[in-house]
Structure 1
Amino acid sequence: MSPSPLRPLNPLSLRARDERGVVLSTRLLALSISAVAMAGLVFLANDPDEAGRPEQVTPAVTEPSPTPSASPTPSSTPTAKPTKKVQPVKPAETYVVVYNNTRTTGLAGTVAGRAKAAGWNVVGSDNWYGTVDGTTVYFPPRLKAAGKALGRDLGITSVKPAEEPMQFDRLTVILTDDYS
């Protein structure tokens, strides 16, 4: 058998394949950028306490400058410590769910009514299936102060960080047999 004749390479056909590879990676890049942008929008849309709210400005505290003297004297005045910015608690803007982990029928609904009467935005009440240490208000990190305030309003002393499967955009109250 004789070898088949070699066909000359067409430079345009090679170029077309290269361009398809470039187009594919450009599309992939555009898709990736779009996905990141969408994820950012979803994050902002699902953060009701922070999204679209203007930043609160805390006035700076300045100390008067010392007057120059002939001999320097040590200052006995303590320097001001930087203060941590604390968000005010807004019960009407804070979501709350109340769960009953007792055999007392209607306890979650009763406590949810107390929370509503105190101004909290109660979005649900139901039964909790699982084991918890005692009646507790669970909070996501950004709602710690609100969790403590809700605990005071309901007479609950145990306030802890939220855990899975709790939702992290609201306060979760779980009532046990120790709630009175």
Structure 2
Amino acid sequence: MSDSNQNQSERFIEVRPAMSIQGVGVRTTNEAEAGPQGKIPQLWDRYFQSGLQTQLSDKDQAIYALYTDYESDASGAYTFIIGNRIEEDVAVAASSEGLLQASVPAAKYMVFRTRRGPLLEIVPQVWHEIWSYFQQSADKRTYTGDYERYDMRQFDPANTVVDVYIAIE
């Protein structure tokens, strides 16, 4: 395998049912996140300080980083929520704890599975690949809700794999 292929993510299509995510969130843009004032790193700290990771669903031992409520496309504002998948009828009183809740509609996704590696390296790398892919591809993003899924059963931030789900037409 050549070195350039080693950095490529694996890509496949998957149809997923609707789900709800509850967690900590912020409104931001990709432009803001590219600079030193990005809000997402502090949001990860807030998620772990909140203890939410101890409340992962038994059915789904994963943390979700959800991009939702898009203003327009990749250049516009969006809401970013780091949280857990919840059952509709188990929703905690979100407002009292400062938590946000969002529904992710059922959709067809292009899934980008990263290579195994350090989290702080592979996630930005796969997003650059995603943006490049959709600039060149006939596949169209719907901007109805995209997410990163972190499987916590065998999680090691220095050596992990992340699946990024991009909603497509």
Q: Which has the higher contact order (CA 8 A, sep 6+)?
A: 2
Greater C-alpha radius of gyration: 1
TM range (shorter): under 0.3
Task: Normalising by structure 2, report the TM-score.
Answer: 0.24
More helix by share: 1
More strand by share: 2
Task: Normalising by structure 1, report the TM-score.
Answer: 0.23
